[in-house]
Amino acid sequence: MNQGVISVSCPLSITIPQGHHKNFKIFKSPKVFNAFTLRSRFIHARRPPICCTQVNPWEPAPITFASENEEVDTFLKRTENIFGSLNADSTTEAPEVETKELVEEETKELVEEETKELVEVSNQPEVHLQIFKWPMWLLGPSLLLTTGMAPTLWLPMSSVFLGPNVASLLSLIGLDCIYNLGAMLFLLMADACARPKQPIKPMRSEAPFSYQFWNMLANVVGFAIPFIMLYGSASGLVQPHLPFISLAVLLGPYVLLLSVQILTEMLTWHWRSPVWLVTPIVYEGYRILQLMRGLKLGAELSAPAWTMHTIRGLVCWWVLILGVQLMRVAWFAGIASLSRKQEIVANGS
């Protein structure tokens, strides 16, 4: 008969309690102590186990586990990450790096869309305020047309100019004051349309120093030429002589309106109004009409040739300055668009 493995794993031991009873004196005998010691050593001796390689028929065979692919055994290898033992080739999920990139791109797109929506919402004024601003876009230019072009085109010159006298000078100054009133109303409407009602941050439209310098230089040159003409005529440097009242009729309204323009520009720079860029254009356009009117009056006054040539030079000068101003408007529009895009990208990132 087959025999299994028989082993004695737990050796027998006998523990003898020690007593301290006075009458129990047998433990004091050396013979009895030696007998118990020998018996204890004999019992504690371990017997060798009997081993058998055959298994009983009623016992099942041991189950062994082995991988199908014995060459490459990568099942649950030890890695730094507990998920690193899984084979990424057997799964259909995207790699971790690509997944992170996709998540970052989607998050960035969502942030950009939200930022654009916030900027659009913040840039849109309230509906009832916008309704009041819509008529200004038509009313402001209509004022310029009515106060500037209508008197010049439809009012007969004979009703205004009565000769080289003070009445004619005051009549011409009155026409320019009417235009100046329309220009002021236009600039106020333009400022109201440019400023948001509830700005996110304070509105600060500051003109660059280079713009202020060159603009003031052009104004000073245009302002100095009539006084040079007056000095040359009074001192006899240029001939023939032109009377003071005739020169005042020709260039007096021009000098007065140029002074108003300089003062208006300085105020817009000081108040940091967004209309500082269009203020010179509003006045310089009408100034060309003033000088063209002066050429007509010079023909009626029989002004000397040097006076007519000087007025033509002033017309060319202010046409050139007006072109430079329009170029500046285009340049500042491009700069403003670029800075706005950079601000949107910065807010989105």
Report if pTM > 0.75: no
pLDDT at position 94, please? 44
Q: How many domains does the chain have?
A: 2
pLDDT digits (tens, 9 = 90+) for 112-146: 666 665 555 554 544 455 666 788 888 989 988 88
pLDDT at position 4, please? 40
Closest to 175 measured CA to CA, from 198, 200, 147, 199: 147
Q: Are 251 and 160 in the same domain?
A: yes
Residue 43 lies in a domain: yes
Q: Are 54 and 125 in the same domain?
A: no
Residue 107 lies in a domain: no
Q: How far is CA 276 from the centre of its chain?
A: 23
Q: Are 228 and 299 in the same domain?
A: yes
pLDDT at position 33, please? 44
Hey, how many other C-beta atoms are within 10 angstroms of the C-beta on 265? 20
Q: Are 249 and 151 in the same domain?
A: yes
Q: Among the three residues 12, 29, 59, which one is the final residue of a domain in this structure?
A: 59
Structural domain span for residue 27: 1-59
Could you tell me which residue, 12 or 197, shows the higher pLDDT?
197
pLDDT digits (tens, 9 = 90+) for 29-50: 444 444 444 454 544 444 555 5
pLDDT at position 114, please? 62
Q: Are 19 and 159 in the same domain?
A: no
Q: Are 245 and 150 in the same domain?
A: yes
Average pLDDT over residues 186-198: 84
Question: 194-198, 252-256, 309-313: lowest mean pLDDT where?
Answer: 194-198
My answer on whether omega of the bond before 240 falls inside 30° of 0, hence cis, is yes
The C-alpha atoms of residue 270 and residue 276 are separated, in whole angstroms, by: 10
